[in-house]
């Protein structure tokens, strides 16, 4: 019983690392190239290569029911790459992305009305 719980937790941790890496890669692909250099970060190609490699390593490291279970010791590096992108780079390039909506616009995430009375 405990063995199954340990295997489930082990699988869940590796799956979370994979999801984080896919999220970081997807976000990096949708951002404009100029946003990275405008924010003072490395180039878009660098982050695409790093998060792409992190995604591949994280997928290979997922245990046997879904992945291959190989190179599991490298999953820590994949997690670090994805987390650095999501925590440091993504917030820095967000203002330069040219996207509208979401957070920081006003109360409740809405754009405040323009004009007077």
Q: So where are the chain's domains?
A: 2-92
Contact in structure between 61 and 78 (CB atoms under 8 Å): yes
Average pLDDT, the chain: 85
pLDDT above 70 coverage of the chain, percent: 82
- What average pLDDT does the segment 29-49 reach? 95
What is the pLDDT, as a whole number, of residue 99?
Answer: 61
For the cut 60, the answer to whether the pLDDT of residue 116 exceeds it is no
Give 59-107 pLDDT, tens digit per residue: 999 887 676 777 788 999 999 999 999 999 999 999 988 765 445 454 5
- What average pLDDT does the segment 2-8 reach? 87
For 14-40, the DSSP string reads HHHHHHHHHHHHHHHHHS-HHHHHHTT
């Amino acid at each position: 019983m405990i063995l199954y719980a340990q295997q489930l937790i082990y699988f869940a941790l590796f799956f979370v690392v994979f999801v984080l890496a896919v999220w970081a890669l997807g976000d990096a692909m949708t951002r404009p190239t100029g946003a990275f250099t405008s924010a003072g970060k490395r180039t878009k190609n660098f982050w695409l290569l790093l998060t792409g490699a992190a995604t591949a390593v994280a997928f290979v490291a997922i245990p046997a029911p879904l992945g291959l279970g190989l190179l599991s010791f490298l999953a820590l590096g994949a997690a670090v790459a994805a987390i650095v992108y999501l925590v440091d780079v993504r917030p820095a390039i967000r203002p330069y992305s040219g996207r509208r909506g979401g957070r920081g616009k006003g109360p409740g995430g809405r754009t405040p009305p323009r004009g007077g009375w």
